[in-house]
Amino acid sequence: MVRAPGFFMTVVIFLSLVLSVFHLPEDWPSWLAFWRPQWMVLALILWVQRVPQYRGALFQLLFTKNAADDGTTTRRVLVCVWLLGLYVDTLMGEPFGLNGAIFATVTFYLLRFHDRLQLQTLFQQMVMIFMMIFLTEILRAFALNTVTNQPWDLQPLTLAASSMLLWPIFNWLAQRFIGPSRRT
Protein backbone atom coordinates (compact mmCIF):
# COMPACT_ATOMS: atom_id res chain seq x y z
CA MET A 1 0.00 0.00 0.00
CA VAL A 2 1.33 3.43 -0.97
CA ARG A 3 1.46 5.78 1.98
CA ALA A 4 0.21 9.30 1.28
CA PRO A 5 0.16 11.13 4.62
CA GLY A 6 -0.47 14.59 3.16
CA PHE A 7 -3.47 13.37 1.18
CA PHE A 8 -4.79 11.41 4.16
CA MET A 9 -4.56 14.40 6.51
CA THR A 10 -6.22 16.66 3.91
CA VAL A 11 -9.12 14.21 3.59
CA VAL A 12 -9.43 13.86 7.40
CA ILE A 13 -9.54 17.64 7.91
CA PHE A 14 -12.04 18.12 5.07
CA LEU A 15 -14.32 15.34 6.37
CA SER A 16 -14.06 16.76 9.88
CA LEU A 17 -15.19 20.14 8.61
CA VAL A 18 -18.15 18.53 6.86
CA LEU A 19 -19.12 16.39 9.86
CA SER A 20 -18.82 19.40 12.19
CA VAL A 21 -21.56 21.30 10.37
CA PHE A 22 -23.70 18.24 9.57
CA HIS A 23 -26.98 18.23 11.48
CA LEU A 24 -28.94 15.14 12.39
CA PRO A 25 -32.31 14.63 10.69
CA GLU A 26 -35.26 16.10 12.57
CA ASP A 27 -36.98 12.75 13.08
CA TRP A 28 -33.99 11.39 15.03
CA PRO A 29 -34.03 11.69 18.83
CA SER A 30 -32.70 15.06 19.99
CA TRP A 31 -30.48 13.49 22.67
CA LEU A 32 -28.21 12.05 19.95
CA ALA A 33 -26.91 15.59 19.29
CA PHE A 34 -25.34 15.54 22.75
CA TRP A 35 -23.15 12.57 21.73
CA ARG A 36 -21.63 14.21 18.65
CA PRO A 37 -17.85 13.87 18.68
CA GLN A 38 -15.65 16.91 18.27
CA TRP A 39 -14.47 15.99 14.79
CA MET A 40 -12.24 19.02 14.26
CA VAL A 41 -10.42 18.69 17.57
CA LEU A 42 -9.80 14.98 16.92
CA ALA A 43 -8.49 15.76 13.43
CA LEU A 44 -6.33 18.51 14.89
CA ILE A 45 -4.87 16.17 17.50
CA LEU A 46 -4.13 13.56 14.86
CA TRP A 47 -2.62 16.18 12.54
CA VAL A 48 -0.34 17.72 15.16
CA GLN A 49 0.78 14.35 16.49
CA ARG A 50 1.71 13.07 13.01
CA VAL A 51 3.16 16.23 11.44
CA PRO A 52 6.64 15.99 13.00
CA GLN A 53 7.19 12.62 11.34
CA TYR A 54 5.24 12.95 8.11
CA ARG A 55 5.16 15.96 5.83
CA GLY A 56 2.94 15.83 2.78
CA ALA A 57 3.33 18.26 -0.09
CA LEU A 58 0.58 20.52 1.25
CA PHE A 59 2.05 20.77 4.74
CA GLN A 60 5.76 20.85 3.87
CA LEU A 61 5.79 24.61 3.39
CA LEU A 62 4.21 25.20 6.80
CA PHE A 63 6.20 22.71 8.84
CA THR A 64 9.66 22.56 7.32
CA LYS A 65 12.13 22.61 10.16
CA ASN A 66 15.80 23.32 9.81
CA ALA A 67 18.80 23.72 12.11
CA ALA A 68 18.32 27.49 12.37
CA ASP A 69 14.69 27.16 13.48
CA ASP A 70 14.11 29.47 16.43
CA GLY A 71 10.49 28.56 17.03
CA THR A 72 9.13 29.78 13.71
CA THR A 73 7.74 26.32 12.96
CA THR A 74 5.62 26.44 16.10
CA ARG A 75 4.44 29.92 15.24
CA ARG A 76 3.52 28.89 11.70
CA VAL A 77 1.58 25.90 13.01
CA LEU A 78 -0.27 28.04 15.56
CA VAL A 79 -1.17 30.69 12.98
CA CYS A 80 -2.38 28.03 10.54
CA VAL A 81 -4.50 26.38 13.25
CA TRP A 82 -5.86 29.75 14.41
CA LEU A 83 -6.96 30.55 10.84
CA LEU A 84 -8.59 27.13 10.59
CA GLY A 85 -10.43 27.94 13.82
CA LEU A 86 -11.63 31.25 12.41
CA TYR A 87 -12.96 29.36 9.38
CA VAL A 88 -14.78 26.92 11.68
CA ASP A 89 -16.26 29.91 13.54
CA THR A 90 -17.79 31.16 10.30
CA LEU A 91 -19.11 27.67 9.47
CA MET A 92 -20.64 27.09 12.91
CA GLY A 93 -21.90 30.63 13.52
CA GLU A 94 -20.05 30.89 16.83
CA PRO A 95 -18.36 34.00 18.26
CA PHE A 96 -15.43 34.97 16.05
CA GLY A 97 -12.14 33.72 17.49
CA LEU A 98 -13.58 31.12 19.87
CA ASN A 99 -12.54 28.05 17.89
CA GLY A 100 -9.29 29.73 16.90
CA ALA A 101 -8.36 30.17 20.55
CA ILE A 102 -9.42 26.62 21.40
CA PHE A 103 -7.53 25.08 18.47
CA ALA A 104 -4.41 27.14 19.16
CA THR A 105 -4.44 26.17 22.85
CA VAL A 106 -4.80 22.45 22.06
CA THR A 107 -2.08 22.69 19.41
CA PHE A 108 0.32 24.51 21.72
CA TYR A 109 -0.16 21.83 24.38
CA LEU A 110 0.39 19.04 21.86
CA LEU A 111 3.50 20.66 20.39
CA ARG A 112 4.94 21.46 23.81
CA PHE A 113 4.56 17.92 25.12
CA HIS A 114 4.88 16.03 21.84
CA ASP A 115 7.70 13.74 22.99
CA ARG A 116 5.89 12.75 26.17
CA LEU A 117 2.60 12.19 24.40
CA GLN A 118 4.22 9.82 21.89
CA LEU A 119 5.13 7.48 24.76
CA GLN A 120 1.55 7.14 25.97
CA THR A 121 -0.47 3.98 25.50
CA LEU A 122 -3.76 4.12 23.63
CA PHE A 123 -5.73 4.19 26.88
CA GLN A 124 -3.63 7.08 28.20
CA GLN A 125 -4.17 8.93 24.94
CA MET A 126 -7.92 8.39 25.29
CA VAL A 127 -7.88 9.84 28.81
CA MET A 128 -5.79 12.81 27.62
CA ILE A 129 -8.25 13.44 24.78
CA PHE A 130 -11.18 13.23 27.18
CA MET A 131 -9.58 15.83 29.45
CA MET A 132 -8.59 18.17 26.59
CA ILE A 133 -11.98 18.08 24.91
CA PHE A 134 -13.84 18.36 28.20
CA LEU A 135 -11.85 21.47 29.15
CA THR A 136 -12.26 23.03 25.71
CA GLU A 137 -16.00 22.36 25.78
CA ILE A 138 -16.29 23.93 29.24
CA LEU A 139 -14.49 26.99 27.82
CA ARG A 140 -16.82 27.00 24.79
CA ALA A 141 -19.92 26.64 27.01
CA PHE A 142 -18.73 29.50 29.22
CA ALA A 143 -18.11 31.75 26.21
CA LEU A 144 -21.46 30.89 24.62
CA ASN A 145 -23.24 31.40 27.95
CA THR A 146 -21.58 34.78 28.35
CA VAL A 147 -22.15 35.98 24.78
CA THR A 148 -25.45 34.36 23.78
CA ASN A 149 -26.96 33.35 27.15
CA GLN A 150 -26.95 29.70 26.09
CA PRO A 151 -27.91 27.58 29.12
CA TRP A 152 -25.47 25.15 30.71
CA ASP A 153 -26.04 21.42 30.16
CA LEU A 154 -24.18 18.09 30.11
CA GLN A 155 -22.98 18.52 26.54
CA PRO A 156 -19.28 19.10 27.42
CA LEU A 157 -19.18 15.77 29.24
CA THR A 158 -20.95 13.80 26.52
CA LEU A 159 -18.93 15.39 23.69
CA ALA A 160 -15.69 14.53 25.48
CA ALA A 161 -16.81 10.95 26.13
CA SER A 162 -17.89 10.33 22.53
CA SER A 163 -14.67 11.87 21.19
CA MET A 164 -12.61 9.73 23.53
CA LEU A 165 -14.40 6.59 22.35
CA LEU A 166 -13.82 7.55 18.70
CA TRP A 167 -10.06 8.11 19.15
CA PRO A 168 -9.04 4.43 18.67
CA ILE A 169 -10.67 4.49 15.22
CA PHE A 170 -8.82 7.70 14.30
CA ASN A 171 -5.59 6.18 15.56
CA TRP A 172 -6.14 2.92 13.65
CA LEU A 173 -6.88 4.81 10.42
CA ALA A 174 -3.73 6.88 10.85
CA GLN A 175 -1.63 3.76 11.41
CA ARG A 176 -3.17 2.15 8.35
CA PHE A 177 -2.78 5.09 5.96
CA ILE A 178 0.26 6.91 7.39
CA GLY A 179 2.09 4.20 9.24
CA PRO A 180 2.88 3.56 12.89
CA SER A 181 3.89 6.56 14.94
CA ARG A 182 7.52 6.70 15.86
CA ARG A 183 8.16 6.68 19.56
CA THR A 184 11.05 8.88 20.56
Q: Please, which residues have CB within 8 angstroms of residue 18's CB and are 6 or more apart in sequence?
A: none
DSSP state of 31: G
pTM of the model: 0.83
pLDDT for the residue 40 = 92
Q: Please, which residues have CB within 8 angstroms of residue 4's CB and are 6 or more apart in sequence?
A: 56, 177
pLDDT for the residue 184 = 47
Pairs from 94-102 (Cβ < 8 Å, separation ≥ 24): 94/140, 94/144, 95/143, 95/144, 95/147, 95/148, 98/140, 98/143, 98/144, 99/40, 102/41, 102/136, 102/139, 102/140
End-to-end CA distance of the chain: 25
pLDDT for the residue 60 = 56
pLDDT for the residue 47 = 84
Contact 156, 134 (CB under 8 A): yes
pLDDT for the residue 130 = 96
pLDDT for the residue 29 = 82
Would you write out the chain's pLDDT as a tens digit for each of its 184 residues? 556 677 888 888 899 989 888 877 778 787 777 788 999 999 999 888 876 554 444 555 555 555 555 566 777 778 888 999 999 999 888 899 999 999 999 999 998 888 888 889 999 999 999 999 999 999 999 999 998 888 888 888 999 999 999 999 988 988 888 777 655 4
Contact 160, 141 (CB under 8 A): no
pLDDT for the residue 100 = 93
